């Protein structure tokens, strides 16, 4: 790295810059924010990254952390931006696309999405879900199925059949279910919807659609997502593993710190 970039005019290391107020801290942990800022070229870094940009940042930073196990140069780059020791950072965390897919499938319920990512460090999963759910609620809202093109109204006769859930859903029944509940023909998963709301609440929502055309579960999903910290896990609210500053959007508690788990 150019020595001129090692310190700013005040003698501070830009890779350890204060993240207070940095908009990117809502969408990724502090160590990644510092890395994005440090490696940025002459083009401005977007405050509200689109899907391609954010996915690339996650992929490239994960690759850097993985390489740090064997590359002194990569290790130095990680240690320069991270307050979390390298041995506490996962070699293979759940990928950006996999986390987003789990959130889409479960109607953006953080706790249920985490259960679909079993096998990874729970603290790492909570951290990723918290940040990416927040991105889906704001800068990434256009990528959610809530923003998909409206589906044609389903056949009321098919919707009535769904008042008693079948053992196995046909493609037409899935489209009718999602059309009646959410006004889309794809997006979540049938198991995700049933786990999120339960069969009785789904039945009540289907009846509401048949009677008035209302979609109360769509409204519930949209409201929970807009709230930013709906049911489930939020890594920014977990206690630190030891003495230190309180966690917040700009903090970097890292894997191993506590995470709140709310019942969904």
Instruction: State the pLDDT at residue 43.
Output: 85
Give the closest residue to 125 by CA, choosing from 143, 110, 109.
110
**Cβ(110)–Cβ(129) below 8 Å:** yes
Mean pLDDT by 10 residues, the chain (264 residues): 41 56 94 94 92 98 97 96 92 95 98 93 94 96 97 97 96 97 94 97 98 98 82 37 33 40 30
d(CA 73, CA 96): 25
**Tally of structural domains, the chain:** 1
**Cβ(170)–Cβ(137) below 8 Å:** no
Q: Is residue 95 part of a domain?
A: no
Q: Is residue 189 part of a domain?
A: yes
Domain that residue 167 falls in: 149-226
Instruction: State the pLDDT at residue 253.
Output: 42
d(CA 236, CA 240): 10
Q: Is residue 37 part of a domain?
A: no
Q: Is residue 117 part of a domain?
A: no
- The residue assigned the tokens 């987003």 is 100
d(CA 51, CA 57): 10
d(CA 161, CA 121): 41
Q: What's the pLDDT tens digit per position in 179-226?
A: 999 999 988 999 999 999 999 999 999 999 999 999 999 999 999 999
Q: How far is CA 38 from CA 1, 4, 157, in A?
A: 10, 13, 58
Give helix then strand counts, H and E, for the chain: 11, 2
Instruction: State the pLDDT at residue 119.
Output: 85
Instruction: State the pLDDT at residue 16.
Output: 53
Give the closest residue to 179 by CA, choosing from 218, 152, 158, 211.
152
Positive or negative: CA dihedral 166, 168, 171, 177: positive
Q: Is residue 261 part of a domain?
A: no
Q: Is residue 28 part of a domain?
A: no
Q: Is residue 200 part of a domain?
A: yes
Provide the whole-model pTM: 0.81
């Amino acid at each position: 790295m150019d020595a001129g970039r090692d310190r700013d005019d005040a003698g501070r290391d830009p890779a350890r810059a204060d993240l207070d107020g940095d908009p990117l801290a809502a969408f990724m942990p502090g160590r990644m924010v510092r890395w994005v800022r440090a490696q940025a070229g002459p083009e401005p870094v977007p405050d509200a990254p689109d899907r391609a940009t954010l996915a690339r940042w996650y992929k490239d930073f994960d690759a850097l952390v993985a390489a740090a196990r064997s590359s002194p140069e990569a290790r130095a780059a990680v240690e320069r931006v991270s307050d979390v020791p390298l041995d506490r950072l996962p070699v293979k965390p759940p990928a950006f696309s996999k986390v987003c897919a789990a959130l889409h499938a479960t109607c953006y319920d953080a706790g249920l999405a985490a259960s679909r990512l079993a096998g990874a460090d729970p603290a790492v999963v909570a951290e990723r879900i918290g940040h990416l759910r927040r991105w889906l609620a704001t800068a990434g809202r256009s990528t959610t199925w809530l923003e998909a093109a409206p589906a044609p109204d389903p056949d009321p006769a098919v919707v009535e059949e769904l008042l008693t859930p079948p053992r196995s859903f046909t493609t037409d029944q899935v489209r009718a279910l999602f059309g009646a509940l959410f006004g889309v023909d794809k997006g979540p998963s049938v198991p995700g919807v049933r786990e999120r709301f339960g069969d009785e609440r789904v039945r009540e929502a289907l009846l509401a659609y048949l009677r008035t055309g209302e979609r109360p579960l769509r409204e519930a999903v949209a409201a929970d997502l807009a709230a930013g910290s709906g049911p489930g896990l939020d890594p920014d609210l977990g206690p630190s593993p030891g003495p230190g500053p309180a966690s917040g959007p700009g903090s970097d508690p890292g894997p191993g710190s506590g995470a709140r788990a709310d019942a969904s």
